[in-house]
Amino acid sequence: MRTRGGSISIDDPDKVAVRLCKVDLSAAYKQWHVESSSRHLFGMQWFRPDRPLPEYALHGEAPRPGDGVTAFSNVLNFGFARSVEWFHRISLALKALLHDPGTEGIGAPLPEGSFESSIYLDDAFLMAWESQAEALKARYLALLALYRIPVSEDKAADMVVSAVKDFLGVEFDAERDELRMSEVRIKAIRARLEGLRGKAYCETKELASVTGLLSFASQCCAPARTYMRRLWTALGGHKRRTRYTRLGRGVQCDLEWFRSLWATHNGVFLVPEEEWKSAAQIDLWTDASLWGFGVVVRLPDGTVEYLTGEWGTLGEGLSINALELLAVLIACEQYGHLWSRRKIRMHCDNQASCFTLSSGASRSATMMVAQREIALVAARHHFQLRGDYIRSASNVGADAASRDDVARLEAWVALMFGPDAPLSQAQPLCDVKAMLRRMQRARKGEARRALGRDAR
């Protein structure tokens, strides 16, 4: 929510400052009274202590009239299973009244598209243009006063309009257009992760709880979901849920990654580029062959730069699916800093690689070695990737670079950008040999597991 038209391009200079406000209700559930006809659902009954215990009580019968004492609650109980559902309906009604320009008694309506709100049970998070923020806050407070809903005075500081607010453990920063986990939430998650350090097994419900917390935290680092796959697999690996779950080496590696996540990767931009752009729109092409890799990119200064290199003996035995992903990783390591806030559809002439890029997961451990590194770079530079399949005939430049065919590459550059377009070769920042060694280890591990399954 940045302008009257909604989200805008990251390059649009006409931006509107946004301010935030948070309002908490006081003893929210206790404000909603229960009708007398339903109070028996919220009470308990026992025999009167000043009288002898009736004989029928020994048979398990409930107290008869005159023999028992009943205590019940007049207000909605927090522990009642339906309380959240009922109160959520009230939250939706409050939001509808706040957004309805025809609601009377709460002030003048605000311009359409100038504000947004998220009302979750007893918490309200308000967002508006800087010029409308105070008016939105006053309108919501008037709405609460109209229906005699008290506001928590203990959290009056949260009601101050500002650029940074914490809502449900997530910090919204309107100045930097960023969403990040709060320090309190990070500390709590780290404590849970430390409880699993070094364990070979843990209770399944404990792992499920930690996985849920990390899944929520991944909202502030979208590529981190790639590192959730082993946790989900560990939880769903049994047809019938067992009491204990084995924490394998892969699971421990992912947990370790999350332990260090928030030091450098906490935060995701609230306003990414509005539309997905194809790699060709930002002048980027990647490809891989059994000989080597090729990356071609046109830099902002107009220079056409390409990367090429041979896999050598380290690439023997690796599938072309994994090598295509490695070519994408090489491009991300080299030029990812230019793609901040962008949403890019990477062109690839390999269906398996396209699917892995789009979903962030693969059954192939070899492909996941490259995909995990791609997710790490994407988290570092705040961009998103998807795979977009194209035919090899449409990827001439990168295909030529991946086969070390410089003459064909030069002819393609002249055709695409003109005969005077400068062309230069750069050295890849990615440690290609180290990545190939890791992928080979993953391939051999897959082969051993396959042999073990066949033996069984």
Domains of the chain as residue ranges with CATH: 18-30+81-168 (3.30.70.270), 34-72 (no CATH), 181-269 (3.30.70), 277-455 (3.30.420.10)
Start-end of H helices in 125-269 = 133-146, 183-194, 204-217, 229-236, 249-264
What's residue 66's pLDDT?
A: 81
Going by pLDDT thresholds of 50, 70 and 90, the confidence category of residue 4 is very low
Going by pLDDT thresholds of 50, 70 and 90, the confidence category of residue 453 is low
Which pair of tokens denotes residue 291? Answer: 């000989």
Mean pLDDT of 408-435: 92
What's residue 319's pLDDT?
A: 92
Which pair of tokens denotes residue 372? Answer: 């995990």
State the amino acid at position 439 in one-letter form.
M
Mean pLDDT of 385-407: 90
Q: Where are the beta strands (DSSP E) in 311-431?
A: 343-348, 384-389, 423-425
Beta bridge partners of 203: 244
Q: How far apart are CA 188 and CA 190, in angstroms?
A: 6
Residue pair 333/377 in contact by the 8 Å Cβ criterion = yes
What's residue 263's pLDDT?
A: 64
Going by pLDDT thresholds of 50, 70 and 90, the confidence category of residue 269 is low
Provide the mean pLDDT of the chain.
83
User: Which helix (DSSP H) or strand (DSSP E) does residue 378 occupy?
Assistant: helix 365-381
Mean pLDDT of 345-369: 89
Mean pLDDT of 112-140: 87
Q: Mean pLDDT lowest for which of 198-207, 213-222, 362-371?
A: 213-222
Neighbours of 58 (CB within 10 A): 8
- The winner for highest mean pLDDT among 102-106, 207-211, 323-327, 385-389 is 323-327
Alpha carbon 98 to its chain centroid, in Å, reads 28
Q: How far apart are CA 66 and CA 64, in angstroms?
A: 6
Q: How far apart are CA 116 and CA 129, in angstroms?
A: 9
State the amino acid at position 91 in one-letter form.
S
Mean pLDDT of 386-403: 90
- Radius of gyration, CA atoms only, the chain: 29
What's residue 12's pLDDT?
A: 45
Mean pLDDT of 78-104: 83
Question: What is the pTM (predicted TM-score) of this model?
Answer: 0.69
Between 221 and 97, whose confidence is greater?
A: 97
Residue 63 carries which DSSP code?
P
What's residue 2's pLDDT?
A: 40
* Percent of the chain's residues with pLDDT above 90: 25
Sign of CA pseudo-dihedral 49, 55, 57, 62: negative
Of the CA atoms within 13 Å of residue 277, those in its CB half-sphere come to 16
Instruction: Count Cβ neighbours within 10 Å for each residue of 271-282 and write b for 16 or more, e otherwise.
Output: bbbeeeeebeee
What's the CA angle centered on 144, arms 140 and 147, to 5 degrees?
Answer: 140
